[in-house]
Structure formats: C-alpha cells, structure tokens
C-alpha cells in the first residue's frame, strides 16, 4: 500500500524511518523477547529507553542542567490547568496573550484558578497576527506570562521571544517544538503535547526550571504536582511507555537529520515554497500577517468557498489527505511538521498550481 502525504494537524505524520524501526522491533526489542509495550516501566530496559529519550531531548534543545524534563499524560490540555495549579505560588493573577484558539482554551482553563489578565489579543483581527510586545499590558504582579508560541489552528507563530523580566514566561509549544532551535533559558516552563511534532498521542512533555517546582498548594493531587513527577523521574505512576519509546525514536531521527538547526533550514524551505506560491496566487490566499506566519501550520483559503470540496477531492486523488481547515478559520490548512518531506509540499504546490490554472 502506498503511503499518503498526511497534512493533518495532529495526531500527525511520523517519519517513515521511525515507523519502520518500530515495526521491526515490535515483537522483540533488542533481543529482550518482548515488545516495548509489554515491558515493566521499572525494568532496566524501559528505564534505559526513557533515560535515552530524555538525554536526546536535552541535547537537541540544549536544555540547561537546572531544568527538569517531565514525561506526562493528559495532553497539552491538562497543562492548561497544571500551569496555574503549580505556578501561582500564592499570587492571584497571571498574564495571558491571546493569539488564537489554543490561547483561548488556556485562558478559559486558567480562570478556574486565578484572575487572568489578557495582556494583548489579536482576536479583533480574527487571530491573524502576534501583537508586538510594545502593545502588551502586563499586570506587574502576575505569577507568570503565558503564550501559545505557535497557534496550530490560526497558523500564527512567534518568531521572537517576549521579554518578561523576572516573571516566568510559559509557552505552549505543542505544534512547533523541535522545529527550530530555541533558547530554553528564556522560559520558566515549556510544554507540548507529543502528537504534533514529537511522537504518538498520549504523551506530553514539560520542561520546567527547577526553582518553579514545589509551589503547588497543599492538597494538590500528586498526579497534578510537577514536583512529584520530577522527583520520580516521571515514573510516579506508569508512564505512557510506548509513546515515550516512539518519541525516543523520533528524537534519534532528528539527530540523524543534523539536529534542530538543520530542521529549521528544511522547515524554512518547505514553508517558503508554500507561502511563496500563496503570495503569487490570485485563487488562494493566506490570512496571516506575513511576519507572523507559521512554518508548521499553513492555513489558506480559496477565493470561492464552493471550490473547497473539489479542491479537497482532487488532493485526495493525488494522495494528499487531511487538508481541510479548522471550522473556525475555514478553507484549508496544510500542517507541514518536521516529518513531512519536502516532496509532500512540492506535490501540494504543484497541485494548487494545476487547480488554479483550471479554476482561476
């Protein structure tokens, strides 16, 4: 069976090499006589798998020693709650920047725990840009400042890091983590669900500065306390073992690709192909301000929405799937994560050109 080019936003495409390796090791991992799925999470074999995944993540992101890496469950959505639960530290307020649907979800969840000061928002413009920091109104007594550094639905990406001074910066990086090098030391906490750019669903990764641990109020359930997970090397209960293993294979693949600087070059090239065509086209357009366009999620609309269905049908015939945009934006969305080869983007642009020649 031929594999398709999968432009889905998540769960998303994985590197084919990784899938082959997981398949080859399915029944017998490294002579253990069992699948990783069947291993004890307390056994030497799985402990080595998890430790190597953490070491590779640390190497790829150049994570400083005073940050902990946690492998958690509950997706990025649980982090919308765990962040305020763990970081408020007696304060009453947190600052949030509202750049799209995922920021909105984070804000809504945080309101159960604290006052949320929306320091800046692009909602009035349909979430098509990132507000410049000069326009932000930070509250001064906030426990932290939260951003979603890549809005998966709107296709808006921070290409800069806000300066929040002493106040910890928290970022939901679910849909662009590992797509480019980042300076972890600029953040208090970074979190990401795995199913976009790291591995299978079921795993969420948190990178947190050590001094922010141990601030959860008394009475916090242990599964919701970062310190409990940090002290137990993310094994306070059974971790999502197979998801950790596959994420580890993806991290090794990223190292073989040359690391995150090399991935960034590839991602710039891939996104560039698509945006360049969108800029030239009179049939298709990108709704996002040029400076803030995401390299990972590229929404685009057709001049005439009645062409959406024939466009999608033709894409599917050509082996390109999951291009339908989110209902809040309409049109199309091409998610072109690390694992999407440039050939997929080339085929998409070729098809768009052909479609425009026919319908433009």
Ligand X SMILES: *Cc1c(COP(=O)(O)O)cnc(C)c1O
Catalytic residues, by residue number, are: 102, 172, 196
CA 345 to chain centre: 19
- The least CB distance from residue 335 to ligand X, in Å, is 10
- The least CB distance from residue 287 to ligand X, in Å, is 18
- The least CB distance from residue 226 to ligand X, in Å, is 17
Reported as type and span, the H/E element at residue 30 is none
User: Does residue number 155 form part of the binding site for ligand X (CB under 6 A)?
Assistant: no
- Measured CA to CA, the distance from residue 14 to residue 145 in angstroms comes to 32
- The least CB distance from residue 110 to ligand X, in Å, is 13
Instruction: Name the nearest CA neighbour of 114 among 144, 137, 79.
Output: 144
User: Does residue number 193 form part of the binding site for ligand X (CB under 6 A)?
Assistant: yes
Nearer to ligand X, 145 or 283 (CB): 145
- The least CB distance from residue 354 to ligand X, in Å, is 31
- The least CB distance from residue 355 to ligand X, in Å, is 28
User: Does residue number 75 form part of the binding site for ligand X (CB under 6 A)?
Assistant: yes
CA 218 to chain centre: 31
User: Does residue number 76 form part of the binding site for ligand X (CB under 6 A)?
Assistant: yes
User: Does residue number 148 form part of the binding site for ligand X (CB under 6 A)?
Assistant: yes
**69-77, 230-238, 245-253, 283-291 -> range binding ligand X (CB under 6 A):** 69-77
Q: Where are the alpha helices (DSSP H) in the chain?
A: 16-24, 44-61, 75-87, 101-110, 226-231, 241-256, 259-280, 308-317, 342-359
- Measured CA to CA, the distance from residue 74 to residue 274 in angstroms comes to 33
Q: Given candidates 196, 215, 227, 295, which one binds ligand X under the rule CB under 6 A?
A: 196
Q: Where are the alpha helices (DSSP H) in 232-307?
A: 241-256, 259-280
Reported as type and span, the H/E element at residue 323 is none
Nearer to ligand X, 104 or 215 (CB): 104
- The least CB distance from residue 347 to ligand X, in Å, is 24
Q: Interface mask (CB under 6 A) for ligand X, residues 301-330, using x and -?
A: ------------------------------
Residues 6+ apart with CB under 8 A from 286: 155, 275, 278, 279, 293, 298, 299, 300
User: Does residue number 157 form part of the binding site for ligand X (CB under 6 A)?
Assistant: no
User: Does residue number 72 form part of the binding site for ligand X (CB under 6 A)?
Assistant: no
CB 129 within 8 A of CB 273: no
**87-95, 132-140, 167-175, 334-342 -> range binding ligand X (CB under 6 A):** 167-175
**14-22, 108-116, 172-180, 307-315 -> range binding ligand X (CB under 6 A):** 172-180
CB 154 within 8 A of CB 101: yes
Other beta carbons within 10 Å of 319: 14
Kindly give the pairing relationship between strand 284-285 and strand 320-321.
unpaired
Q: What one-character DSSP code corresponds to residue 162?
A: -
**26-34, 168-176, 225-233, 347-355 -> range binding ligand X (CB under 6 A):** 168-176
Nearer to ligand X, 270 or 333 (CB): 333
**71-79, 120-128, 273-281, 326-334 -> range binding ligand X (CB under 6 A):** 71-79
User: Does residue number 139 form part of the binding site for ligand X (CB under 6 A)?
Assistant: no
User: Does residue number 175 form part of the binding site for ligand X (CB under 6 A)?
Assistant: yes
Q: Given candidates 86, 152, 322, 335, which one binds ligand X under the rule CB under 6 A?
A: 152
Instruction: Name the nearest CA neighbour of 81 among 108, 44, 46, 41.
Output: 108
CB 188 within 8 A of CB 170: yes
Burial 140-150 (b: 16+ CB within 10 A, else e): eebbbbbbbbb
Give the interface with ligand X as residue ranges (CB under 6 A): 10, 75-77, 102, 148, 152, 172, 174-175, 193, 196
């Amino acid at each position: 069976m031929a594999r398709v080019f999968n432009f889905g936003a998540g769960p998303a495409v994985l590197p084919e090499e990784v899938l082959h390796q997981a398949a080859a090791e399915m029944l017998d991992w490294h002579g253990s006589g069992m699948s990783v799925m069947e291993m004890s999470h307390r056994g030497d074999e799985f402990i080595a798998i998890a430790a190597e995944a953490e070491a590779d993540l640390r190497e790829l992101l150049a994570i400083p020693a005073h940050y902990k890496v946690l492998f958690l469950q509950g997706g990025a959505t649980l982090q919308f709650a765990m962040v305020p639960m763990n970081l408020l530290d007696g304060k009453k307020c947190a600052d949030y920047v509202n750049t799209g649907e995922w920021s909105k979800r984070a804000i809504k969840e945080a309101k159960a725990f604290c006052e949320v000061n929306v320091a800046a928002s692009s909602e009035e413009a349909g979430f098509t840009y990132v507000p410049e920091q000069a326009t932000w109104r930070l509250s001064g007594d906030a426990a932290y400042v939260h951003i979603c550094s890549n809005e998966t639905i709107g296709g808006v990406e921070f290409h800069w890091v806000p300066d929040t001074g002493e106040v910890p910066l928290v970022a939901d990086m679910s849909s662009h983590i590992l797509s480019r090098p980042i300076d972890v030391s600029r953040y208090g906490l970074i979190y990401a669900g795995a199913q976009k750019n790291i591995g299978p669903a079921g795993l969420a990764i948190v990178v947190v500065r050590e001094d922010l641990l141990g601030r959860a109020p008394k009475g916090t359930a242990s599964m919701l306390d970062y310190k409990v997970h940090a002290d137990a090397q993310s094994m306070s209960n059974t971790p999502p073992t197979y998801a950790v293993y596959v994420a580890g294979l993806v991290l090794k693949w990223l190292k073989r690709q040359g690391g995150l600087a090399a991935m960034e070059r590839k991602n710039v090239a891939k996104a560039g192909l698509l945006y360049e065509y969108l800029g030239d086209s009179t049939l298709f357009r990108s709704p996002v301000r040029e400076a803030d366009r995401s390299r990972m999620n590229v929404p685009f609309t057709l001049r005439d929405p009645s062409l959406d269905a024939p466009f999608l049908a033709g894409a599917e015939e050509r082996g390109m799937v999951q291009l339908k945009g989110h209902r809040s934006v309409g049109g199309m969305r091409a998610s072109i994560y690390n694992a999407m080869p440039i050939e997929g983007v080339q085929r998409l642009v070729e098809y768009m050109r052909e479609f425009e020649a026919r319908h433009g």
